[in-house]
Structure formats: C-alpha cells, structure tokens
C-alpha cells in the first residue's frame, strides 16, 4: 500500500516537471465575446509560463456554431499559448464538445472552461495552484451564491442530486460546475470511460483521486444568451440520471412494493370487515381511483424503463460522439512567449 502510494507520487512528480496544461473551451455561437476572452486567457497563460514554466495550450471546440465563431477562433493569435481550433461537423451539444476537447488536448492536465466569459480567467491561477502546490487531481468549482435563482429550480436541483447520489459510494457534489481542472492522470482516467452518453460532472467525480472544491462568483454573460431553458435542463437531468445511476429503477421497485403492501393490507381489512361485521362490499369510487393510480404509476415506470432501454440502444450502436470537420493548430511564437 505504502509502496504503491510512493510509486504513484513519484510518477506524479515526474510528470508534473514536464507537464503542461490544456485549456478546453467549448464555443457555440460565441464569436462576439471570443477575442476578449482569448486575450484574458492568454494573459494568464503568459503569467503561468513565466512564473511556473508551465506550457499552456488553448483548445477551442466550435460546436457547430451558426455564426462565424470558427473564423473568429481561427484568427486568434497564439501569443502566449498554442491555439488549437477543433470544429465539429454540426452542433453536438456541450458534453460532446467537452469530449472533443479532451481528445485533442495534448499537454497532460486539462482544464474545462465555458466560452461565454462566465468562468472568470482570473480564477485559472487559483485552480492551477491547488493542483500544482497542493497536489489535487480534480479541482472543481462551485457557484458561491445561488440564492438569486428561482426556488423551484433550487428544489429541482436538490431532488436531482439526491436521486443521483442515492446509494452511491462516490457522491457527485451538489452545485459543482463544469469549470474544472484535472491532473494528467485524472484526465487519462476520464479518457478511459467508454460511454457515449457523457455527463462530465458525474464522470470526473466518479474517477476519484484527490478532489477539492473552489467557490467562485460567476460573471454575467456578456454576449449572446444561454442555450438552456427548462426543457433542456430537464433533458440534461434525465440524461445525467439514466447514464449514471439506476436509482429511478430502484425507486420504481420500491414504489411497486409499497403499492403491493398497501393493497394487501387493504384486502385483509376488507375481508375482516365482511367476516367480523358482516359488511358487504360497497365502493366503485375506490375501485376506479385505485385502478387509475396503478395504471398511471405503471405507465410512468414503463417510461423510466424505456429511458434506460433507449440509453442501452444508443450505447450499443456505439456511434462516435462527434465528428471533426476542421482542425488547426497554431504554435505559440517562441520569441513572444519568452518575453
Ligand atoms: N455550448 C456548446 N454547445 C452547445 C451549447 C453550449 O458548446 O450546444 C457552450 C457555450 O458556447 C458555452 C458553454 O457551452 O461556452 C456554456 O453554455 P451556456 O452559457 O449556454 O450555458 P450556461 O452558462 O447558461 O450553463
Ligand atoms: Mg454560460
């Protein structure tokens, strides 16, 4: 055990010495804010390179944008960091874009960050410090203040995490965001996950290693608007739940058992009533109501089963998660970087 720990920590030390950081930024219709965001990330990259000797690259994944995001991204200067631009063949969704970025990242450690400026580049340094100085493998962030969000949403989020974490050994932290840094070995672990239906927050918690949380104040979206609404959020929740846990199925079984037990008790009660008090059996209403309840619950449970079967189908088909249409790499100008 000790030998193993020592071995793994020397390996970490070795890799770290030659290590760099790939910053993966998924972008979907973000052409307006991209140049200024790039400027800010480059600034941090320059600092990291100068202060820590850390090589940095930025991987922009254009998730089939309908505006000129791809052209804008391609024109970005590689002043302090290498710039990769990966353009997907169509809009595959953020999770797929994150995977594309992970697959193209070449420098070991990987950081994921939104392309709309809501994840402040000024926080990159803090995350890097927790990784390099404190030796954490997964540094994830959580929004510090969520009080302003609607009550219903907060309740929904809570229910979602209660369900997904039910009976799990490794709990997915509530309110953790996609802004996170993974060390080289954590990123490698993430790459080994074979599933196509990806739920990054869940996966990067599931892999284990040393994890730490950093609270931050998310910035306001400067350009464009969020692609999420109630329906896409519900979709993502079902996606996350079914690809991650069988808790809904377990809930269905429990509910079934509960109903069966109630029915049994009720049956015994009716029998006793007839035998002891000689009451005959009235009550069409109770009959109709119970049939309707059971019918409804059964349909719901079949729906849940269907979700899982659908998920199995899409995993079995084993289609690629994304296709790359265009890919370019711009190497940082050495003289610039060394300044
Ligand atoms: N995004 C993406 N593909 C999509 C939708 C969004 O790559 O289909 C990117 C988007 O450009 C942004 C990040 O994912 O960089 C987060 O999106 P958004 O700001 O809409 O989500 P929110 O911050 O509201 O959760
Ligand atoms: Mg956003």
Give residue 337's pLDDT: 40
- What is the 117 CA–ligand 2 centroid distance (Å)? 7
What is the position in ligand 1's atom list of the atom closest to the CA of 118? 23
Mean pLDDT value across residues 187-196: 88
Global confidence as pTM: 0.76
DSSP letter for 137, please.
S
Distances (CA, A) of 219 to 2, 26, 29, 120, 334: 44, 17, 18, 7, 32
Q: Which ligand is nearest to the CA of 100?
A: 1
DSSP three-state, residue 136: coil
Tally of CB atoms within 10 A around 219: 15
What is the position in ligand 1's atom list of the atom closest to the CA of 226? 20
Q: Which of 156, 185, 174, 184 is nearest to 213 (CA)?
A: 174
Q: Using an 8 Å Cβ cutoff, are 144 and 56 in contact?
A: no
DSSP 274-321: HHHH------HHHHHHHHHHHHHHHHHHHHHHHHHHHHHHHHHHT--S
Q: Which residue lies with its CA nearest to atom 13 of ligand 1?
A: 114
Q: Which of 223, 226, 215, 221 is nearest to 118 (CA)?
A: 221
- What is the 25 CA–ligand 2 centroid distance (Å)? 12
281-322 confidence digits (pLDDT tens): 677 777 877 887 788 778 888 888 888 888 888 888 888 999
> For domain 14-228+321-330, which architecture applies?
Alpha-Beta Complex (3.90)
Q: Helix 184-192 and helix 2-17: axis angle, to 10°?
A: 100
Phi, psi of 319 (to 5 degrees): -75, 155
248 lines ligand 1 (CB under 6 A): no
Q: Is 173 exposed, middle or buried (0-12, 13-18, 19+ CB in 10 A)?
A: middle
83-100 confidence digits (pLDDT tens): 999 999 999 989 899 999
Q: Which residues surround ligand 2, an ion (CB under 5 A)?
A: 116, 118
Give residue 3's pLDDT: 43
Query: How far is Cα 230 from Cα 137, in angstroms, rounded to an integer?
Result: 33
Residue extents of the structural domains in the chain: 14-228+321-330, 246-317
48-75 confidence digits (pLDDT tens): 988 888 999 999 999 999 989 999 999 9
pLDDT band, very low/low/confident/very high, at 155 (cuts 50, 70, 90): confident
Tally of CB atoms within 10 A around 69: 23
Q: Which residue lies with its CA nearest to atom 22 of ligand 1?
A: 226
Q: How does the average pLDDT of the chain come out, rounded?
A: 83
Helices (H), the chain: 2-17, 34-52, 69-75, 94-104, 124-132, 151-165, 184-192, 200-206, 230-244, 247-277, 284-317, 334-338
How many residues would you count in the chain? Answer: 339
Q: Which of 1-5, 78-82, 151-155, 320-324 has the lowest mean pLDDT?
A: 1-5
Give residue 194's pLDDT: 83
Q: Which ligand is nearest to the CA of 62?
A: 1
The rounded percent of the chain whose pLDDT value lies above 70 is: 91
Give residue 184's pLDDT: 92
Could you tell me the sign of the dihedral formed by the alpha carbons of 302, 304, 307, 308, in that order? negative
ipTM exceeding cut-off 0.90 for this assembly: yes
- What is the 25 CA–ligand 1 centroid distance (Å)? 10
Residue 231 has pLDDT above 50, yes or no: yes
Give residue 183's pLDDT: 94
């Amino acid at each position: 055990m000790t030998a193993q720990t020592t071995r793994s920590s020397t390996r970490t030390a070795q890799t770290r010495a030659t290590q760099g950081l790939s910053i993966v930024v998924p972008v979907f219709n973000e052409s307006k804010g991209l140049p200024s965001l790039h400027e800010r990330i480059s600034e941090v990259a320059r600092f990291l390179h100068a202060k820590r000797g850390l090589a940095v690259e930025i991987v922009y994944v254009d998730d089939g944008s309908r505006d000129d995001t791809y052209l804008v991204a391609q024109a970005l200067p590689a002043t302090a960091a290498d710039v990769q631009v990966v353009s997907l063949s169509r809009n595959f969704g953020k999770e797929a874009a994150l995977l594309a970025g992970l697959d193209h990242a070449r420098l070991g450690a990987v950081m994921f960050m939104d392309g709309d400026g809501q994840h402040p580049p000024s926080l990159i340094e803090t995350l890097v410090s927790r990784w390099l100085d404190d030796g954490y493998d997964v540094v994830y962030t959580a929004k510090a203040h969520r009080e302003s969000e609607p009550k219903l949403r907060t309740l929904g989020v809570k229910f979602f995490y209660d369900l997904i974490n039910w009976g799990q050994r490794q709990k997915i932290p509530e309110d953790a965001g996609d802004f996170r840094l993974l060390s080289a070995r954590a990123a490698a672990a993430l790459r080994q996950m074979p599933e196509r239906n990806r739920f990054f927050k869940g996966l990067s918690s599931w892999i284990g290693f040393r994890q730490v949380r950093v609270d931050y104040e998310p910035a306001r979206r400067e350009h464009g608007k969020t692609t999420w609404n109630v329906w896409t959020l519900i979709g993502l929740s079902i996606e996350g739940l079914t690809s991650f846990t069988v808790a809904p199925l377990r809930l269905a079984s429990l509910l079934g058992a509960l109903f069966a037990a109630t029915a049994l008790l009720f049956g015994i009660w009716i029998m006793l009533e007839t035998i002891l008090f000689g009451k005959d059996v009235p009550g069409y209403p109770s009959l109709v109501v119970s049939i309707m309840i059971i019918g409804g619950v059964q349909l719901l449970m079949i729906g849940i089963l269907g979700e899982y079967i659908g998920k199995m189908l899409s995993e079995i088909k084993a289609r690629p998660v994304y296709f790359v249409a265009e890919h370019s790499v711009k190497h940082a100008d050495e003289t610039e970087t060394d300044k």
